[in-house]
Structure 1
């Protein structure tokens, strides 16, 4: 029978995604067939599978850690917020509808049997399932219709490990409060506690760990340090930790506009690991200055983000930076923003039906009801670039723009269409391809072009292929996990999960 274990957190960004990825890699190293699972994910960072299905990026890097291909069954429900009240609801990789928070809450009981069936289908193919919750299980206003925390643990007959972030402060109060707010049956389901993001001497925690064990009756099975492991971060909270100022020791300054509805900021992870690049996320126009490369990223609500850029004076700051010599690039929604005109006659993204873009590219975009979700291979010069597309809208080029690349395959099938646009002078470009900077040879060519402008010698690309770099990081994550977790206790919890019914099941 398939074993299972679930990581839930005292709050968002507690580290449950990393813990799940670490265990996936540990179990893979043991030769077991393992799959991650998060029934419902809310994120603007998403990924497109080989078959064109959309899913959350956390389950993608967990799948990579497990050594398996991403599968929409690993994240059957993805919520992509478009406003503070509404989200696009994606089920098994495809858009179901746009719903308000209240409408979706009332709809969840209809999703529950489908989520359960999807989980069981995936579990039947694996030795171990590693589940992840969302936010906190102690959201007492939502728990009557929960399908992602204890509600999912009950469907999967899965024991729970509670992950608590000590870096935020108040870790023991968070642990105690989370557990004691749960119904008694759900308290019994929690079999272990992990304290995450610890800095300092662990001996200082011993007395506190013993007290929280006595208060809750649940063992602390490990204390994970604040480790130097470089993985994609999906949660938007991670943006608050991104650099706001330039690292003066790096030759190249790359500024990413921190849009209100920024999506897929994981696009820039490959730039962040380049030895000569400082990537900073700019929140205010007066922070922008004149970077070597200015990037407008993807957006879940392009027209609204463009409106905010204009209201805050960011549009003027971007145009001024370009005039002073910054190369300007746009990814997906950022590419649309760079154009002459954006039209949304059916109010698909927002109530803004027509708006002038920044005018740096001779393009026009019309939003339509068809959502493009494809993996793609593009030909650009002598290089083939891999990426994926997630966008609403069709963009056409005027006479003062040329295509960025030619798409030659989508979802594994041959095709022949154009992508993106480049200004005639080459100083502005845009593309619909997410993951464009993961193409390390092309990225180094671009960076060397920026170096040449500054009179710097080019760098030879000596970096590991991105896949090899990720493998190093997953192995490092697994090492940190096994060195700081009571693996014997974790294995015992896993073994008990395969029984006919566990304590806490109704």
Structure 2
């Protein structure tokens, strides 16, 4: 008999789904269950490498670690790695498949549904429990016909589904109740309960809120999860970099240039945890002032990053920079005198 599936969907991106799936994986593992995470499709340039050399999203690898198992490509069979200019590299079962414009990918999405079901079925045959994660909102009505990762997965697996909202953003009632309202009846029947995430303060003050959600939503509130500072988990994607940057304090400031299609920037998280070190992501040469070092990170489109650096004035600013300059992955290529892509491996190719 296939293993049951618990699915965590959210009212929007960045409401805490990935962290909650990791937490549920750890809880299930501690109770003696053989549990695996699953995310049908992820969009991120923060990637991890499996033992057999396949690529999956870093967040899925973290969830596998929480479950106490090695990550495999079955846990994240489709990974979309944005290159900019509305183009992305599509990684299928750990290997590059095609580089497509957004419209072209939309037309080919139907080809990928069997890939998703095959890998989910394999996990359900191997483990006692699968905890699946959705992406963004399940009720983006203009995109729902091409859904590969939210309620289509839940319906296929008849998953016991949890809906998560982020109260720290505000509008928690509209988030949760609005999402419930827009689900199809067959989808709504799968919702086992609601989770209010990132609550600050005394939960006793939200007792009435829980009652209102349950009365109007018709499902229980299964948890009010507190705001937790500094979880030190890798960010799923570059959305995290849109948050306010830390103000440099006494000590060492390291700047990371926020290149277009920046990749694996969570590699720098350990630097940010060092006492006396401030890591700041910058997008203008003037922000280099006061930095002891500057890092050029990885990027999914090196030529575009090279042009962006020149247009922003970073070329001259880096020549004058008195501190240490470090390039990693694509950033190391950017330190060269010339970059040539005659075979158009990235975008339209070219020479810079």
Calculate the TM-score normalised by the size of structure 1. 0.67
Candidates 335, 339, 343, aligned match of 1:338: 335
* Count of matched residue positions in the alignment of Structure 1 and Structure 2: 350
Structure 2 partner of 1:159: 160
In 1, distance between residues paired with 2:306 and 2:56?
26
Against the structure 1 CA distance between its residues 89 and 218, is the aligned structure 2 distance closer, same or farther, given a 3 Å change threshold?
Answer: same
Is residue 2:310 matched to residue 1:313? no
Structure 2 partner of 1:291: 291
Deviation at 1:71, TM superposition (A): 0.5
Structure 2 partner of 1:237: 239
* Correspondences of 1:82-481 after superposition (within 5 Å): 82-228=83-229, 229-241=231-243, 243-248=245-250, 251-321=251-321, 324=322, 326-355=323-352
Against the structure 1 CA distance between its residues 330 and 242, is the aligned structure 2 distance closer, same or farther, given a 3 Å change threshold?
Answer: farther
In 2, distance between residues paired with 1:209 and 1:26?
24
Deviation at 1:290, TM superposition (A): 4.1
Deviation at 1:124, TM superposition (A): 1.0
Q: Choose 115-124 or 17-26, whichever is displaced more.
A: 115-124
SS of aligned partner of 1:173: helix
In 2, distance between residues paired with 1:41 and 1:159?
21
Is residue 2:62 matched to residue 1:61? yes
Q: Which runs of 4+ in 1 moved over 3 A?
A: none
In 1, distance between residues paired with 2:281 and 2:88?
25
SS of aligned partner of 2:207: helix
Deviation at 1:129, TM superposition (A): 0.4
In 2, distance between residues paired with 1:176 and 1:318?
50
Deviation at 1:122, TM superposition (A): 1.3
In 1, distance between residues paired with 2:77 and 2:172?
31
Q: Is the 8 A contact 2:246 2:278 kept in 1?
A: no
In 2, distance between residues paired with 1:176 and 1:219?
12
Cα RMSD after superposing both structures: 1.4
Against the structure 1 CA distance between its residues 89 and 268, is the aligned structure 2 distance closer, same or farther, given a 3 Å change threshold?
Answer: same
Per-residue CA distance 1:67-86 (angstroms, 9 max, x = gap): 11110100000011112422
Unpaired stretches in structure 1, ≥5 consecutive residues:
356-506
Q: Is the 8 A contact 2:259 2:299 kept in 1?
A: yes
Deviation at 1:100, TM superposition (A): 1.9
In 1, distance between residues paired with 2:237 and 2:224?
22
Structure 2 partner of 1:47: 48
In 2, distance between residues paired with 1:152 and 1:101?
22
SS of aligned partner of 2:84: coil
Q: Is the 8 A contact 1:244 1:282 kept in 2?
A: no
In 1, distance between residues paired with 2:149 and 2:41?
6
Deviation at 1:352, TM superposition (A): 5.0
In 2, distance between residues paired with 1:208 and 1:34?
33
Structure 1 partner of 2:5: 4
Q: Is the 8 A contact 1:244 1:281 kept in 2?
A: no
SS of aligned partner of 2:48: strand
SS of aligned partner of 1:349: coil
Deviation at 1:145, TM superposition (A): 2.5
Deviation at 1:17, TM superposition (A): 0.2
Deviation at 1:4, TM superposition (A): 1.7
Structure 1 partner of 2:80: 79
In 2, distance between residues paired with 1:150 and 1:276?
45
Larger Rg computed on CA atoms = 1
